[in-house]
Chain A
Amino acid sequence: MAIRTSTQRRALQGVGNGVLVLMLLWTAIPFYWMIATSLKHDKEIYGYEATLIPQRPTLNNYATVFRETPYMLYLRNSVAVAVGSTVLSMVIAVLGAYAIARLNFPGRALLARGLVFTYLVPTSLLFIPMFALMSVLRLTDSLHGLIIAYLGFDVPFCTWLLMGYFKSVPVELEEAARVDGCNRVSALVRIVLPMSLPALVVVTFFSFTHAWNEFLYAHVFTSTTSARTVTTGLVNFMSQDVFFWGPLMASTVMSALPPVLMFLLFQRWVVKGLTLGGVKG
């Protein structure tokens, strides 16, 4: 019997290796095509001389993006919106999560439920009334408007994630601090926050990449170049006839880089955070 299962295992390992190779190719080829295209001359991109591997690699496409398009502006807008919404949602979420995790008051279970519920309501159900709201408040075409709009997603998610983490910080530590003269606020700042560093990292990663990647609100609320973020900016490039795949892929590579680097950097924590909460299906 044992022999039979060990043969089975060896066979499975072989199958597994085969599947793995296929999966790696399936994942890698689109990346390859994106990067390869960004490094080609137009001649190698289109027509009869099109190549699969860049014969004479060039950075011309990257230069074109910076020289002839407002890409720098989009980049700056994306950074501003991502940083702004991350900082704001972090502060709001830390306070809210601490309240739900540690303080005793009527209605907190209901509020916790409300938070998760709102996190799960997708933006594609909300973008039409949000557009109307933003128009009335004159927050369309503005980075402030986007920062505020993103809180609607970031705050519920971050609060929920931090809530679980705060609960896992031993209450005794905090009680000891309070005996020594800390009040609630200083206990939060001096004890709970330092102990929750991994969760804070995950939360930062999520709200930053969310703002960086977000498309629908950014697309719907902005109609001029001045407030476009990278995602809407690139889609807008596509609708202009003059813009072609070389520069477009160059800007795609550059725009995908920050979230990918962040992911690689914080991978261990992010994977753990994701399996707890989960965003982006």
Chain B
Amino acid sequence: MATPTTVSLPLPSSRRGLRWRRDRVQRFLLRDATLGYLFLLPALLVILGLVAYPFASAIVMTFQAKTAGAPGRFIGLENYRELFNSEQFLRTVFNTVVYTAVGVGVKFVLGLGMALVLNQERFCNNLFRTFLLIPWAIPTVMSALNWRWIFDDASGLINNVLVRLSLIDEAISWLSNPHLAMFSVIVVVVWQGTPFFTMSFLAGLQAIPKELYEAAEIDGASVLQQFSYITLPRLRPIFITAVMLSAILTSAAIQFVLVLTNGGPADRTMIFSVLAYHLALGGAQRLGMGAAVSLIFFPILVVFIVFLTRRMLREKAGD
């Protein structure tokens, strides 16, 4: 590496000047700040181009009547007004809340149960754990397709078995009965999503020092007391992270409904992502309306996202 002394030389020869300039360029490029921005530039472009820009343009779009490829026409709050006057939208809000709350709730309970069971010592436990996690690794669309076939009216597994056992006389329309459709969709969401909770909670359980339980045992604490005074408080941070992350992803997951019911029957399983999809890409191509549906839900999501961002960065810092 050249030292700055070259700078003080009066009238450097032309060769020297060239080398001096090259060194300077090299040193400039290898400075932390330059290198930092240079390294981050591609990532920054991705964020700006593929997340920030689309997001900003979504906001603009909600004030427009717009179809794909054509420029939008400004119509003020018309899209929002129409949505709030539409029964379909109000039903969608209700459905999304039910779908997310029940889905996340059941996944949470089952995941915690599974994690506790897997945390016990037994023969071949690792094998069982691996197997129970597989639904998470399967592409969600494949799970949804598989379940659509399981729920099939005429020849699906469930009706098939129920009829064989003479528990029912007529096939049950799991996906087209207005009272059952949401239930059926949530079953699939739970099947696919429980392993995520199991994995997270199991990792949390395994991080609790055994000494705590031994000490509690000596003090005469019952198993239930150990659970509520050691296990639960220790898992609390993971509970919060897992629930929030899952709430964001569950509410936004479009595949299950799109494959299983497409929002029907009579909008009983219509959730916001599917409604946005239908409005924007169904026959009428009302991109502005679709974007408005998505954005109305954003303020709720953003609370979770901001909270999680902080938490995830804090955990990283503590590594």
Q: Find out whether the CB atom of B36 lies under 8 angstroms from the CB atom of A130.
A: no
Q: Find out whether the CB atom of A13 lies under 8 angstroms from the CB atom of B309.
A: no
A52 contacts the other chain (Cβ, under 8 Å)? yes
Find A24's partner among B33, B39, B128, B137 (CB 8 Å cutoff).
Answer: B128
A83 contacts the other chain (Cβ, under 8 Å)? no
Interface string of A119-138 (1 = CB under 8 A from B): 01111111111111101100
B130 contacts the other chain (Cβ, under 8 Å)? yes
**Shortest Cβ distance from A71 into chain B, in angstroms?**
13
**Shortest Cβ distance from A276 into chain B, in angstroms?**
7
**What CA separation (Å) do A178 and B220 show in the bound complex?**
57
Closest to B60 in A: A129
- Specify which chain B residues have a CB less than 8 angstroms from the CB of A280 in the assembled complex: 136, 140, 193, 196, 249
| Number of A interface residues in the complex (CB < 8 A) | 114
**What CA separation (Å) do A36 and B143 show in the bound complex?**
15
Q: Find out whether the CB atom of B313 lies under 8 angstroms from the CB atom of A256.
A: no
- Specify which chain B residues have a CB less than 8 angstroms from the CB of A120 in the assembled complex: 245, 248, 304-305, 308-309
**What CA separation (Å) do A263 and B250 show in the bound complex?**
22
B139 contacts the other chain (Cβ, under 8 Å)? yes
**What CA separation (Å) do A28 and B193 show in the bound complex?**
15
Q: Find out whether the CB atom of A27 lies under 8 angstroms from the CB atom of B223.
A: no
Q: Find out whether the CB atom of A103 lies under 8 angstroms from the CB atom of B35.
A: yes
Which parts of B20-37 form the interface with A (CB within 8 Å)? 30, 32-33, 35-37
- Specify which chain A residues have a CB less than 8 angstroms from the CB of B32 in the assembled complex: 103-105
A4 contacts the other chain (Cβ, under 8 Å)? yes
Q: Find out whether the CB atom of A155 lies under 8 angstroms from the CB atom of B117.
A: no
**Shortest Cβ distance from A96 into chain B, in angstroms?**
4
- Interface SS majority for chain A: helix
Interface string of A7-47 (1 = CB under 8 A from B): 01100110011011001101111110110010000000111
Known contacts being A19-B117, A104-B36, A260-B134, is A113 close to B313, with CB within 8 Å? yes
Interface 9-residue window, one of B79-87, B177-185, B273-281: B273-281
**Shortest Cβ distance from A232 into chain B, in angstroms?**
8
- Interface SS majority for chain B: helix
Q: Find out whether the CB atom of A135 lies under 8 angstroms from the CB atom of B222.
A: no
**What CA separation (Å) do A216 and B47 show in the bound complex?**
19
Q: Find out whether the CB atom of A125 lies under 8 angstroms from the CB atom of B139.
A: no
**What CA separation (Å) do A129 and B251 show in the bound complex?**
19
B61 contacts the other chain (Cβ, under 8 Å)? yes
A76 contacts the other chain (Cβ, under 8 Å)? no
- Specify which chain B residues have a CB less than 8 angstroms from the CB of A129 in the assembled complex: 53-55, 57-58, 61, 291
Q: Find out whether the CB atom of A118 lies under 8 angstroms from the CB atom of B120.
A: no
A167 contacts the other chain (Cβ, under 8 Å)? yes
| Number of B interface residues in the complex (CB < 8 A) | 115
Which parts of B110-133 form the interface with A (CB within 8 Å)? 110, 113-114, 116-118, 120, 122, 128, 130-133
A252 contacts the other chain (Cβ, under 8 Å)? yes
Find A213's partner among B132, B140, B247, B306 (CB 8 Å cutoff).
Answer: B140
Q: Find out whether the CB atom of A125 lies under 8 angstroms from the CB atom of B298.
A: yes
**What CA separation (Å) do A17 and B313 show in the bound complex?**
38
Q: Find out whether the CB atom of A92 lies under 8 angstroms from the CB atom of B273.
A: no
Known contacts being A45-B155, A132-B68, A255-B139, is A263 close to B133, with CB within 8 Å? yes
Find B30's partner among A115, A183, A275, A277 (CB 8 Å cutoff).
Answer: A183
Q: Which residues of B contact A (CB under 8 A)?
A: 30, 32-33, 35-37, 39-40, 42-44, 46-47, 49-55, 57-58, 61, 66, 68-69, 104, 107, 110, 113-114, 116-118, 120, 122, 128, 130-143, 145-150, 152, 154-155, 157, 160-161, 164, 191, 193, 196, 199-200, 203-204, 217, 220-223, 241-242, 245-255, 258-259, 272-273, 276-277, 280-281, 287, 290-291, 294-295, 297-298, 301, 304-306, 308-309, 312-313, 315-316, 319
Assuming A213-B140, A220-B277, A252-B146, what are 17 further A-B pairs, CB within 8 angstroms? A1-B220, A4-B222, A16-B116, A19-B117, A20-B122, A33-B149, A122-B251, A133-B54, A155-B43, A167-B316, A235-B259, A255-B142, A256-B138, A259-B137, A263-B133, A271-B203, A276-B315
> What are 7 residue pairs bridging A and B, where the CB atoms are less than 8 Å apart in the complex?
A105-B37, A120-B305, A120-B308, A133-B53, A215-B254, A249-B149, A281-B250
Q: Which residues of A contact B (CB under 8 A)?
A: 1-2, 4-5, 8-9, 12-13, 16-17, 19-20, 23-24, 26-31, 33-34, 37, 45-47, 50, 52, 91-93, 95-96, 98-100, 103-106, 108, 111-118, 120-133, 135-136, 148-149, 151-152, 155-156, 159-160, 163-164, 167-168, 183-185, 209, 212-213, 215-216, 219-220, 230-231, 234-235, 238, 245, 248-249, 252, 255-256, 259-260, 262-264, 267, 271-272, 274-281
